[in-house]
Chain A
Amino acid sequence: MAKYLLLKHYRGAPAAVNDVPMDQWTPEEISAHMQYMNDFAERLEKSGEYVDGQALAPEGSWVRYGGEGRPPVTDGPFAETKDLIAGWTIIDVDSHERALELAAELSAAPGAGGRPIHEWLEVRPVMSAHCTVTE
């Protein structure tokens, strides 16, 4: 009964074992990959472990306050060097081991050649607002 955020990175994570850019896969390989991801989410919904999940567009911007009466400052020309998140899933599971198990399963999604991508996923515990009663 703890929530975890599973993060898929475009950039910022170590390279996957089967590291071939998606645009060099066959259309069938891409379909198989998408099907795997959808099946995964659907299975989590059925097991009662699903909380939320979304895919994200690759364009991301860093933004900060620009000062009184001035436009926000964005990160401009260095976009290609920063970490980017491809998508996220929040799960609610009985143990940390289960969270790792599910992340590993997600990492086994088929990629180029129909073989698992073995991509790295980041698993982050979601902090709860309240604490247990034991003092």
Chain B
Amino acid sequence: MDEALLRSLTPSVLTVLVRRGADFAAAEDAVQDALVEALRVWPADPPRDAKGWLVTVAWRKFLDATRAETARRRREDRFEEEPAPGPAPTVDDTLQLYFLCAHPSLTPSSAVALTLRAVGGLTTRQIAQAYLVPEATMAQRISRAKRTVSGVRLDRAGDVATVLRVLYLVFNEGYSGDVDLAAEAIRLTRQLTAVIDHPEAAGLLALMLLHHARRAARTAPDGSLVPLAEQDRGRWDTRLIAEGVEILQAALARDRLGEYQAQAAIAALHADAPRAEETDWVQIVEWYDELVRLTDSPVVRLNRAVAVAEADGPRAGLSALAELDAALPRHTAVAAYLHERDGDLKTAARLYAEAAHKAPNLAERDHLTRQAARLNTHLHH
């Protein structure tokens, strides 16, 4: 049984049903029923046309459910409601589904859950495991999301930026359990770039590939964090890097720069350095200037301060840092690092400990605590 095939077919089957006039929530239920039936029937009797089979079975399930519902309603209030005919397709099937799942009326977590379920074809259990919440909670989140978008028509192109944001959120969530969300985000973004011609979609895919390429080197065997400069570059996935760079270059050539392309450009410059010392920090600072211009994000300014320190020395970095709000996440960690680079180990040790206290996750906290301990051991001997 080819589960990957089933998952890749899910979005287009779903869109066919919605286009034929099925309500989104009902269509989703029908597709899930059809998938269950496929898992049961296909091993012994594989269909020649998998998508056609799924569409037929899902549509039958939808009609059965609608008839049962209609009969119930007729009994209840002598009232019959046929689903309205759907609008004519204007954009590619899968793309419409992306826009629906990233609809602005949904909260980010609902949009992510719905995307993974409807476009990604993941089961509710898998999504719940990935986000470490009970299955019932995720089921409610998804059914609320479905209700929220149930009246939304798939007749207008939505906001690509929102779709990209949702995919970026999935990617950043990392992985746990049996679903690798980073790999899932890459798979979905690949699908998206296949149906949409947009430099930022390509930029996002390049960014994901370039980050993903470093994954094996990012943690030590004991699970602790390895900073970029100390990573074993021999463990970076050169195939993914080459692919990411190629996609990025094609996107940049379109001359419609956006934040994902700029971020990917920075990631590509890191990937390009055979040794940490050979990193082209001057060019990286230039890309951060672009990113600041595009996003005006304080987090980007913070990262820029680090790049400035690498390009022009720790003092320059510290003065760039001084212009930023000290309450920013990771501000203290960056200050600690720059003070260490500047030779002020005592201040650095104190700031590392403070940063560890504020760290948002265990890997970072442990890493920063070790940094403080390393300097303190040094200072006390």
Contacts and interface: CB of A to CB of B under 8 A. Distances in A.
A1 interface: yes
A133 B144 contact: no
A1 B174 contact: no
B61 interface: no
A1 B169 contact: yes
B362 A51 contact: no
Interface residues of A, number: 23
Contacts of A128: 360-362
Nearest to B365: A127
B131 A45 contact: no
A-B pairs, 8 with minimum CB distance: A48-B141, A130-B174, A48-B140, A128-B361, A133-B211, A1-B109, A132-B172, A131-B361
A135 interface: yes
Interface string A31-59: 00000000000000111111110000000
Interface in A115-135: 125, 127-135
22 contacts: A1-B108, A45-B137, A46-B144, A47-B144, A48-B113, A48-B137, A48-B140, A48-B141, A48-B144, A49-B137, A50-B134, A51-B137, A94-B109, A128-B360, A130-B176, A130-B363, A131-B225, A131-B360, A131-B361, A133-B211, A134-B211, A135-B218
Contact of A51 (B108, B134, B173): B134
A50 B109 CA distance: 13
Nearest to A50: B137
Nearest to A1: B109
Q: Which residue among B134, B144, B365 has the maximum number of chain A CB atoms within 10 Å of its CB?
A: B134
Interface of B: 107-110, 112-113, 131-134, 136-138, 140-142, 144, 169, 171-176, 182, 211-212, 218, 225, 227-228, 270, 303, 359-365
Contact of A129 (B212, B218, B228, B361): B361
B144 A127 contact: no
Interface in A38-96: 45-52, 92-94
Nearest to A51: B133
B279 to A, nearest CB: 12
A92 B131 contact: yes
Given A50-B134, A94-B108, A130 B140 contact: no
Interface of A: 1, 3, 45-52, 92-94, 125, 127-135
A92 B90 CA distance: 37
B303 to A, nearest CB: 8
A132 B363 CA distance: 10
A129 B113 CA distance: 20
A134 B182 CA distance: 13
B228 A131 contact: no
Given A50-B137, A92-B133, 8 more contacts: A1-B109, A3-B132, A46-B144, A129-B362, A130-B363, A131-B225, A133-B211, A134-B303
B335 to A, nearest CB: 17
Nearest to B145: A48
B137 A92 contact: yes
Contacts of B174: 130-133
A1 B172 CA distance: 11
A54 to B, nearest CB: 14
Contacts of A52: 134
A73 B142 CA distance: 48
B82 to A, nearest CB: 29
A52 B136 CA distance: 11
A82 B176 CA distance: 37
Nearest to B219: A130
Contact of B360 (A51, A92, A93, A127): A127
